[in-house]
Amino acid sequence: MIACLDVKDGRVVKGTRFEGLRDVGDPVALAARYEAQGADEVVFLDIAATREGRATLFACVRAAASELRVPLTVGGGIRTADDAALALRAGADKVAVNSAAVESPGLIAAMAERFGAQCVVVSVDARRERDAWRVWTRGGSTPTGLDALAWAETCAARGAGEILLTSIDRDGGRAGYDLALTRSVAERVAVPVVASGGAGAPEHAADAARAGADAVLLAGVLHERLFTIADVKRSLAHAGVPVRSVA
């Protein structure tokens, strides 16, 4: 169970299909709240860093890392292995790359060789186009033409220790994760796959797990308090999915 905080200008924001962003709170306070609810991990994604051509907000990362006991993954604006090193020194346990990995696939191997594959996460933002899923970058604003399934395979082969798989079509829609996309990627890679985009009910997490996801990511439904991480964990346990209990 992973709580995701999309950060812009030092605040957590949320929209639908990566658009219509609205302010939903302070990132450090929300990270602490979700850890208390039972989150196994927190993800910070600086969604404006790549578009604005700047580094991620490391002050925010340091503040959150000082409060959290669960792993913290940081992404957005990571363009080089040196940028990843700065994120790790600021307190991140894992570093996520997306646009920079597409533009320079060698970055994945460079990070894996320097820091270990266990802390290299490649975010794959996919949109359905006819009979395939295609990769989009720069916060879902730029099409690449890459086949998402083949790209996920390439990322794993180059050293990614984890695939953060987001369905742009489902993002914010609350109709459930894209199970076909999740299943297709999980069948092709040997590394963990995190399903993202579309959660709208606690039982959607179990659906994703049955489709092959090793973890599920939640954002808007948590921010709006539609349900808690503890609610989702109870649903998972009821469905027979092994899950860490909430204290």
The catalytic residue positions are 6, 125
Cα dihedral 50, 52, 58, 59 sign: negative
Tell me the C-alpha distance between 155 and 101, whole Å.
8
Give the DSSP letter of residue 217: E
**What is the 3-state secondary structure of 100-117?**
HHHHCCHHHHHHHHHHCH
Helix (H) / strand (E) containing 157: helix 148-158
The angle formed by the CA atoms of residues 37, 13 and 218, to the nearest 5 degrees, is: 40
> CA 119 to CA 92: how far, in whole Å?
9
Query: Between helices 148-158 and 106-115, what is the axis angle to 10°?
Result: 40
Q: What is the DSSP letter of 121?
A: E
